A and B are shown apart, each in its own frame.
Chain A
Amino acid sequence: MPPRRPEGPPPPPPVARVRLRFAKRGRLRFLSQLDIARTFERGLRRSRVPIAFSAGFSPHPKVSWLGGVPTGAASEAEYVELALVEDVDPEALRVALDAALPPGLDLLECRPAEGGSLADRIQASRWRVRVPGVPADDVARALEALLARESLEVERRTKSGRALVDVRQAVICGVCRAEARDCAILDVVVRHTTPAVRLDDVLTALGVVAVPPLTFPVPPEPTRLEQGLIRADGTLADPLAAPSGGPSHSETGRLAGRLPA
C-alpha cells in the first residue's frame, strides 16, 4: 500500500513578508528561544495573522527567527520575519499580534521586508548590563584591562565539551557608569562571531582580567538594546530602517568585511 499523502491542494504560497522588532522584558526574560517561538505561534493563531504554512502532514507556520537572546537576558531588539498569505497592513498586524502576546513580549515595530536578508543587516549587539553588588569603578577597571589586551580567551562549556572563545576580538567598545554606589551599569558592543561570544563570556572575561579578580555576588542582568551593522563610530544601524542608498554607504560595509574597502 502506498504511503498516504495529504489530500487537497498545497497550502497557498506567501505573498508578503514582514519583519518585526520585539522586546523581551521583565520576568519574561526567563523565556528560552523555544518558549518564545511557541508563545508566538499561539499568538499568531489568536490574532488571526494570515501566516503562511509549510506543506505536508504537519504544517508549520513560516516564521524565521534570528539568533535569540539567551534565557535570563532581556532585550529591546529581537527580530523575526513572517511569511504571509495576504498582504495585510503591517501596523494592524503589529497591534493585533501584540495584543495576543503576553505583556513583556512586546511588538515594537513591523515593516514590510525589503532589501537583503535580515541576517545580513545584523553584525553586532549593544548590551546594557546591570551589575548589582559591584561598584562601577571595579567594572570600569576590568573593562579597561580587557580593552588593553590584544586577545583574551575564555573557556566555555558547550554541548560537545569545552571551547575557547576570544572575547577581546568580539568586544568592539564599552563604557561603564554607576547606577548606585554598589551597582555598575556596563554598556558594551559585542560582534556576532562564530563560535559566538556570549555576554556570559564577556562577564567571565571581565572577571578574570581584573586584578584582583572580579566576582558577581548577584547574577548580572543583561539587556540587549540594539542589533545591527556596525558603523564607524561604534554605533549600530537599525536593521529595519529603509535601505536608503543601501548598506554600501561608507564605512559600514568595509567594517563588516562584506564589501571591498
Chain B
Amino acid sequence: MRMDRRLQKFLNVLALMAAIVLPRNSGAADLSGEWIGQITGPFDTPFTAQYSHVVLNVTGSKISGKWGQYAIAGSLASDDVTIELLDGSGKTIGTLTGTMKAGAVSGSGTVIPSRRMGSTVDPLPNDVTWNLMSSMPAPATPKTYDYDPKYFYGTYSAAEPPALHIFAGDTVRTRTYDGQGPDAHAIRHGTGGDVNTGPFYVEGALPGDTLVVHIVKLRANKLLGRQGSRFNQHAVTQAYALSAKYDPNFNGNWQQDIEKNVATLPPSPGLPHLTISMKTMLGCISVAPPGEEQYAGTDLGVFGGNLDYNDNVEGTTLYFPVFHPGALLGIGDAHGAMGDGEVVGTGLETSADVTFTVNVIRGYATPQVRAETKDYLISFGVSGSVPDSIQLATAQLADWLKHDYNLNDSEVALLLGDVMKYDITELVDPHFDVVAKVPKSVLATLNK
C-alpha cells in the first residue's frame, strides 16, 4: 500500500519532469546531445533504477558517445535506435534497442550486471527496459527564488515529491521550522521529529554526481531557543546518569537576541546571567537516501540528515553524494547555538531564515557528506558507532585529499598525522557522526 503511494508520487515527479522537458522535433540529428539515461532491471522500481548522464553524437547512421562510464557504439535507422554499451576494455556489456518518439527514446535490451565481489565469472545478462529523457538546459542566467514552504516533511525518502525545481547556480531564499507548535503558514507530514523544508529538485544532478550546497545566509528568526537540560546516556557514564538529580521544571528556553547575535538563559540560582554568542547552524541538511531507504527526520546517514554539526553555518559549503535524479535537497532543525555532540539531545532549537545556492559536480561522488568552511576541509563519518565514524571520516578525508591534491598514501598519512583535527558532532541520535578536518592554510602549501 505504502509502496503504491510512493510509486504514484514518483511517477508524478517523472510526469512533471517530462512536462518541463522541451519537446524536440523528431529527426535523426536531434538524437545528438545530452540526455538522462534510465535502465530498469527486472527487480527494479523507479527508485532503484540506474540513471546516467548520456551524451550521443550522431554521424550519418552511426551513434557514438558516453552512457555514464560506458562508451557507446550504435546505429540509427529512421526512428529505430540500437545502442551497445562498451566497458573500458571495449567489451560489450549491454545491448539496447528502442524507438524515438516525441523527443524521447525508449526500448528494451539486455545488460550484464557487475560481477559479484570475489566472483570470476560474469553473471548472465539481465533483461532491462530503458529510456532517454532530455536533459533540462539551464536558463541563461541563474535565478533567485523566494520559496515560502507550504509543508515540512519528516521522512528522508526519494518518494518525497519535490517542492521546487532549481538549476545549478540558482539561489533559494527560504525558512526552516523548529518542529514544535503550530506554524501559521504550513503543515508538517511524515514520521520524523525533525522536519525539513523542500525537497529541492536540482536539475542535472544524477547518481554518481556531487551536489554542492553553499549556505549564503543562515540566521535564527525568532526569540526562542528551546534546549533540553538532561544529559543523554551516550554522553555521560551510567554512574553519572544514575546519580544526577535533574530539576523537572528547569527552564531551558533561551532568549535569542538576533540583532546582537547572543542568547541568554533564564536566570537560575547557579547561572544567574549566562549569555553566549549565537552561531546559528542547520542540524538537518540532506539529499534523498539511496534506493528505497526511508529514515525518520531525526536520523542521519551517508545522505546527511540530522548531522548536527555546529559548523554547518552561514558561509559553509556542503558536498553530498547524489543517490537519485535531482538529489532532493532538504534543510531543517536550526539551532541558535550548540556544543559538540548535542549532549542533551538538542541545541538551542529554533527556526531560521536560510539563503543557499546549489551546484553540481558531475561524475565525482564520495561515500558520505563533506563540507568546507573558510578554514577547513571537512569529511563526515556517519555510522552505528563512534569508532566506525572516526575510521570512515578519516578514510574519506584521505581519499578526497589524494584525489584533489594528487597525493600518495604516504604523503596523505604524513599530512593527516601532522594537522588533522576531529570533531565529535552527534552522540545522541540513531546514528553517530564524527568529522575529520584539515586546515586549508596547510593545504595551500601543497603542489597539486
Chain B binds chain A: no
